[in-house]
Amino acid sequence: MTKLLPRCLSFVLLGLVVGCGGGGTAPPEPTASELTEAGWAHFAAGRFQEAAASFSDAIAVDPAFADAYNGRGWASLRLIRFGEALGAFAAALNLGLGTADPLAGRALALRDLEPVDWAATGEAAAGALAADGRYVFSRDPSLDWKDLRLVLGHALFARGDYAGANEQVRLLGGAPADPASETFVLDLLRELERLGTEP
């Protein structure tokens, strides 16, 4: 009986090894690209917390993967975490992401972060428009160049560049205010606000 015990244990251990391993190898860890695409899928579904987590996982896998930072910025923006969004967009830009996305996101985050730095907001919006004058955010087509022109118009208005703001109104297809009118500044502001309420 004692001679059978080691042999029985050997078969049991062999069975456990084969059973647990399944004879195959473990699946490969997801790449930064795969994790980023998972993040964008969450983003498209409105699951911004899950999106942010996927983008963070992608950054952990590859700290130089620029689109993961871009995604993290947009997810943070939707979660109303403007400081986080700005940091992520800055990283995407520093890593050389070659789209207007991080600049567009930066403009929106700066516009909503109190107190508003209108100079930086206008610079980011202008930069995004310079990179792509007919910008459309591929992950949410409801955001496009018109939103950026409106942000730029408000930024110029806030800095007292009424002629520049009036030009943005014209480029948006609005009704530019008459600079000769006594109510020029008020008319310009009203038109900017009206354009902001258009669908």
How many structural domains are present in the chain?
2
pTM: 0.84
Tokens 């609005």 locate to: 174
Does 82 share its domain with 135? Answer: no
Residues 145/133, Cβ–Cβ less than 8 Å: yes
Mean pLDDT of 126-134: 97
Q: What average pLDDT does the segment 152-157 reach?
A: 98
First-last CA distance in the chain: 85
CATH code of 151's domain? 1.25.40
| Statement to judge: residues 43 and 134 lie in one domain | no
Q: Are residues 158 and 124 in the same domain?
A: yes
In the chain, the percentage of residues whose pLDDT exceeds 90 is: 84
Residue 108 lies in domain:
100-199
CB atoms within 10 A of CB 104: 28
Q: Is the predicted pLDDT of residue 10 greater than 50, yes or no?
A: no
Question: Can you give the pLDDT at residue 98?
Answer: 85
Per the domain annotation, does 59 fall within a domain?
A: yes
Q: For residue 99, give the amino acid letter.
A: T
State the chain's mean pLDDT as an integer. Answer: 90
> Using omega within 30 degrees of 0 as the cis cutoff, is the peptide bond preceding 115 cis?
yes
- Asked if 119 and 90 sit in the same domain, the reply is no
Residue at which a domain ends, from 60, 76, 98: 98
The answer, yes or no, to whether residue 12 has pLDDT greater than 50, is: no
The domain that contains 44 carries what CATH number?
1.25.40.10
Q: Do 127 and 196 fall within a single domain?
A: yes
Domain stops at, among 98, 122, 153: 98
Statement: residue 24 has pLDDT above 70 = no
- Residue 14 reports pLDDT greater than 70: no
Is 90 within the bounds of a domain? Answer: yes
Query: What φ, ψ does residue 117 adopt, rounded to 5°?
Result: -95, 95
Structural domain ending residue among the three candidates 98, 115, 130:
98
Q: What is the pLDDT of residue 4?
A: 43
User: What 3-state DSSP class applies to 136?
Assistant: strand
Judge whether 36 lies within some domain.
Answer: yes
Greater confidence (54 vs 3) lies with 54
Task: Flag whether 116 is in a domain.
Answer: yes
Query: What mean pLDDT is predicted for residues 141-147?
Result: 96
My answer on whether 50 and 128 are in the same domain is no
Q: How many CA atoms lie within 13 A of 139 on its CB side?
A: 27
Q: pLDDT at position 198, please? A: 82
pLDDT the model gives residue 23 = 52
97 band by pLDDT with thresholds 50, 70 and 90:
very high
Mean pLDDT of 89-99: 95
